[in-house]
């Protein structure tokens, strides 16, 4: 595939900023293969929970990584908030991160036939996994807006929680993600920072597409 026409988009940002929704929309518009890398960390956490392991046990986390296969990424329980928190605990282990790195890079360099490229969303995609990606987006929003969005999402899935509980959990997870020594959450220098506070999905997609078009003016688009 021609390197200049092969699209690589990274989308990073904190919990509930709308990375997944934006990445899924961009994947559809630009015909890209999409990997939500948070699912990898969540799948490790779920495996540990199922076998009664402690999320702080590094050896157990590494064992769970080695057992991962692609079927593990489609389990609906991965979206539970407890799994999100567990994922952020095991995500601090450098050994776990490096064991998952090859899978992510391999995904990025092998798009399915007919796709124009790839889009990956997570925390460290632009900085660590694909630092050479030409198109990096960092999505953010105020903690209150992010907690409100997550609450709505959970209510739609008939999962009960409160704004206060979600906000507290999100701030705890953000701190862990931002303060960890390895691959802390922060934007790459050349990332487009997209603050989605006060924007609806259509505005967010429009701004992001404008940026993608500036990097890949020849891209074919589905509307
Ligand atoms: O959907 P949400 O933003 O709430 O979380 P997620 O993207 O599914 O990620 C769950 C957790 O996995 C995050 O809080 C991070 O600690 C970790 N993660 C990571 O460290 N690196 C990634 N590339 C993706 C997720």
Q: Quote the CA–CA distance of 22 and 40 in Å, as a whole number.
A: 19
> Hey, what domains does the chain have and what are their CATH numbers?
7-212 (3.40.50.300)
Identify the residues whose C-beta falls under 6 Å from ligand 1. Answer: 15-16, 20, 37-38, 41-42, 84, 87-88, 91, 122-125, 173, 177
217 CA → ligand 1 middle, Å = 31
Per residue in 27-40, pLDDT (tens digit) is 999 999 999 999 99
Atom 4 in ligand 1: residue holding the nearest Cα? 15
The mean pLDDT value for 148-164 works out to: 89
Determine what percent of the chain is predicted with pLDDT higher than 90.
Answer: 83
Task: Say what the pTM is.
Answer: 0.93
**Residues 6 or more apart in contact with residue 81 via CB below 8 angstroms:** 154, 159, 161, 166, 169
Give burial (CB, 10 Å; 0-12/13-18/19+) of 59. exposed
Quote the ligand 1 centre to 220 CA distance (angstroms): 30
Q: Within 10 Å of residue 160's Cβ, how many Cβ atoms? A: 7
Which pairing describes strands 117-122 and 7-12: parallel, antiparallel, or unpaired?
A: parallel
Q: Which atom of ligand 1 is nearest to the CA of 36?
A: 7
Average pLDDT in the 77-92 region? 91
């Amino acid at each position: 595939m021609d390197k200049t026409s092969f699209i690589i988009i990274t989308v990073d940002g904190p919990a509930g900023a709308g990375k997944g929704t934006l990445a899924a929309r961009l994947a559809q518009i630009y015909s890209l293969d999409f990997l939500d890398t948070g699912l990898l960390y969540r799948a490790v956490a779920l495996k540990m929970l199922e076998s009664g392991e402690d999320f702080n046990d590094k050896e157990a986390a590494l064992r769970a990584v080695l057992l991962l296969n692609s079927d593990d990424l489609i389990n609906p329980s991965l979206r539970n908030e407890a799994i999100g928190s567990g994922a952020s605990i095991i995500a601090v282990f450098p050994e776990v991160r490096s064991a998952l790195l090859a899978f992510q890079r391999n995904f990025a360099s092998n798009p399915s036939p007919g796709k124009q490229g790839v889009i990956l969303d997570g925390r460290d995609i632009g900085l660590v996994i694909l630092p050479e990606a030409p198109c990096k987006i960092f999505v953010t929003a105020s903690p209150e807006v992010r907690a409100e969005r997550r609450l709505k999402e959970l209510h739609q899935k008939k999962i009960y929680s409160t704004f206060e509980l979600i906000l507290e959990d999100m701030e705890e997870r953000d701190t862990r993600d931002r303060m960890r020594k390895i691959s802390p959450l922060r934007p790459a220098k050349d990332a487009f920072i997209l603050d989605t506070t006060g924007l609806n999905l259509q505005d967010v997609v429009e701004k992001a597409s404008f940026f993608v078009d500036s990097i890949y003016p020849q891209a074919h688009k589905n509307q």
